[in-house]
Structure 1
Amino acid sequence: MFASNIFGNEDELFAFLGDVEALLRRGQPDVAASILESQLGDLAEEGDELAKLCLKVPVSAIRLVGWEQLAEKLKKFDRPDKRITALSVDISAPFEMPLLEQKHGNFYEPDLDTVFYSDSAFPFSGAHREDLLDCYTPKGGPWSGGFEHVDATIAVRGMGGIYGEVLLAQRRCRPDDHNDPMEQDSAVLASAFVAVRLHQAIKSTAEGRGMPRPMMLMVGNNESFPYFDAAVLTRPEYEDLLDVEGEEDDCGAADEMFAPLQIAPIPDDYDPFASMPGEDQVSGAALRKKLREIAPEPEIANDVAPTGFGGFINKLLKRSA
């Protein structure tokens, strides 16, 4: 049974989720996150515990494990006629709710699939973001199911405190006779928040640590509500970010050196239950701009609400303005 204090009906709910996904696909995950945080903040003020948990997880609290293995994996899966040109990190819904340890309550990190694609599924190598926007359908991108390999190379740490609770909230809202509007709103917004936060964390890692080589980077889903899939960085965007054409920086080193940087391994004493660090962090791109000490070229802000969205999301944007 549909019940909500935020959305007038299910059509309005799914239109809202569609607009959040559209922000991700347009390359504005921070705007998507701010909209969700605003709504979760309202629920938190009303006493919703899941909303409160979500707001305690900044991007800087999330770590990706296995990023350092990508270079070797690409060498392994590359073929002379099918070079890996795209990578997608997908949230995979568990087949059944896992048994959670009593010690840590409902702590459960998301299961991730690492999906490797070649240009045989889609011309990723030369695709710009506009090319992707033009080809999406209600079922996702045309490359869906056309992967060369899928495994669990990448894992995530730092989301377990909310993800287990999100899974339980989804289960509670599933019965046809469930009619608690706050709980349904919380489950929907928290599910979307998990997907957007992971997208932000992967973007931050790619920008700060680099990828083994220029390629398309995406975040998707494997039957995981709300079924978002979107590009994090296209190959041209990554090339622009790192200036891989070989332009020298002020230190006299070619910028190509940034491409093979790898994420540091998780320290032995890492405790995912420790207090969350602050939100402040410096991306690789920002650090390099400081080193160059030149004014950055103007670019589209990622924290400014875009135009072209209709319906419920525009009401939210106007309300928060």
Structure 2
Amino acid sequence: MVNPRSAGQESMFMSVTDIFASEIFESEEELEQFLGNVESLMRRGQPDVAATLIEAQLMELNDGRHDIAKLAQATPVSAVRLIGWEVLDQTFRKIDRPEQPVTAMSVDISAPVTLPAPDPERGNFREPDLETLYFTDSAFAFARAGREEINHGYGRKAGVWRSAFEEAGAEVQVRGLGGIYGEVLAYQRRRELGDLPLPADNDALVMGHAFVAVRLHQAMRAVIEGRGLPRPVTVLVGSNESYPFFDAPVYTRAEYYDLIEDGEEGEVEESKFASLSLAPRPADYDPGSIFQDDTQVSGTSLRRRIRDAAPVEEPANDTASTPTSLVSSLFERLRRRPA
């Protein structure tokens, strides 16, 4: 959720300037615009369109034969699952305060502080580390806010609620993105070692990071629609210092009510909350173990350092006027290859 450049820590993170060398984009500005348009689609509730655009760019690399492009093709939404979902009700109740219940959660990809070296047994495989932030309406009026209001709450760097979370935890984790995410980190490590000379590899690095962020967003939406939530809350997916720093709402509270609304009377059946079937926790589930390795560090400590800082109002990001014109213009750009 927090773009690290706002904290003056540029040397720790991948920037567009660091990585720019492209077969697809004519300039850094064009790449930035493309990523901004992808995030805009996610914020408007169109992550499937966003994913299609990224996949189309990946298929431009070596005619779809690039390693990261092939891994993206092998990672459909159906292959991604979330674990720890069944403990959310207990977590919400633990964090609830009198007259201030949890009304929003943000599941963020946490960038590794140190890029991992290949593992002798697992190779480059590495699942993303997720951190979940829990909010009440003391941070932002999530209980009443629709998608438009939440999108206006995003400033140029992060949501205005970014430092007002109640708790941060690692209850929710992801399985199924480890192949492509680990390969993307391996390419990033090669870049830092000066061993990524081909423009196509730099394109794959950028698009691979974007693909992982969008695929997690899609997986979150799928699990909400398939397994439900223990209560209606706003669900966001964001970034804890993880390039390309996407932040977007998956479901607002009102949208979740629409999802579970009774079709005949237009009323919510409260029993649907209790009857939601939650998958059993896998035998290998151990959220604490992901931080035992020094190369896998949560951003929780950084979050706690900024927690007491007052949120700063920032201007909302601009968005395209209509979804149709944005999508059309992006596909037109995909068809245009630089000479």
TM-score class normalised by the smaller sequence: 0.7 to 0.9
Q: Which residue does the alignment assign to 2:35?
A: 17
Distance 1:19 1:158, change over 3 A: same
Shift of 1:180: 1.8
Match of 1:307 among 324, 327, 330: 324
Match of 1:170 among 188, 202, 206: 188
Q: Which residue does the alignment assign to 2:280?
A: 265
- Whether contact under 8 Å (1:40, 1:55) holds in the other structure is no
Q: Does 1:35 align with 2:46?
A: no
Which ranges of 4 or more aligned residues in structure 1 deviate by more than 6 Å?
none
Q: Which residue does the alignment assign to 2:3?
A: none
- Please list every run of 5 or more consecutive structure 2 residues that lacks an aligned counterpart in the other structure: 1-17, 286-321
Normalised TM-score (structure 1): 0.80
Q: State how 1:133-152 maps to structure 2 within 5 Å.
A: 133-152=151-170
1:119-163 Cα distance to aligned partner (Å, 9 max, x none): 111100000011122232211211112100001010111111111
Q: Percent identity?
A: 50
* 1:104 partner SS: coil
The separation in 1 between residues aligned to 2:162 and 2:264, in whole angstroms, is 34
* 2:165 partner SS: coil
Q: Which residue does the alignment assign to 1:205?
A: 223
The separation in 1 between residues aligned to 2:169 and 2:234, in whole angstroms, is 18
Please tell me the residue identity of whatever aligns with 1:58: P
Q: Which residue does the alignment assign to 2:269?
A: 255
* 1:126 partner SS: coil
The separation in 2 between residues aligned to 1:100 and 1:174, in whole angstroms, is 15
Normalised TM-score (structure 2): 0.76
Shift of 1:44: 5.2
1:52-111 Cα distance to aligned partner (Å, 9 max, x none): 111100001011000000000001000003211001100000111235432221110000
Q: Does 1:80 align with 2:98?
A: yes
Aligned residues: 281
Distance 1:311 1:183, change over 3 A: farther
The separation in 2 between residues aligned to 1:262 and 1:77, in whole angstroms, is 23
* 1:64 partner SS: strand
Distance 1:128 1:46, change over 3 A: closer
Deviates more, 1:107-116 or 1:80-89: 80-89
Q: Does 1:232 align with 2:253?
A: no
Shift of 1:47: 2.9
Please report the RMSD computed on the Cα atoms of aligned residues, expressed in angstroms.
2.6
- Whether contact under 8 Å (1:89, 1:218) holds in the other structure is yes
Match of 1:7 among 20, 25, 33: 25
Deviates more, 1:162-171 or 1:106-115: 162-171
Q: Which residue does the alignment assign to 2:306?
A: none
The separation in 2 between residues aligned to 1:75 and 1:8, in whole angstroms, is 51
1:233-256 Cα distance to aligned partner (Å, 9 max, x none): 00000001101799489xxxx733
Q: Which residue does the alignment assign to 1:123?
A: 141
* 1:124 partner SS: coil
- Please list every run of 5 or more consecutive structure 1 residues that lacks an aligned counterpart in the other structure: 271-304
Q: State how 1:42-81 maps to structure 2 within 5 Å.
A: 42-43=60-61, 45=63, 47-81=65-99
Match of 1:184 among 196, 202, 217: 202
1:275-304 Cα distance to aligned partner (Å, 9 max, x none): xxxxxxxxxxxxxxxxxxxxxxxxxxxxxx
Please tell me the residue identity of whatever aligns with 2:330: I
- Whether contact under 8 Å (1:84, 1:119) holds in the other structure is yes
* 2:36 partner SS: helix
* 1:120 partner SS: coil
Distance 1:56 1:310, change over 3 A: closer
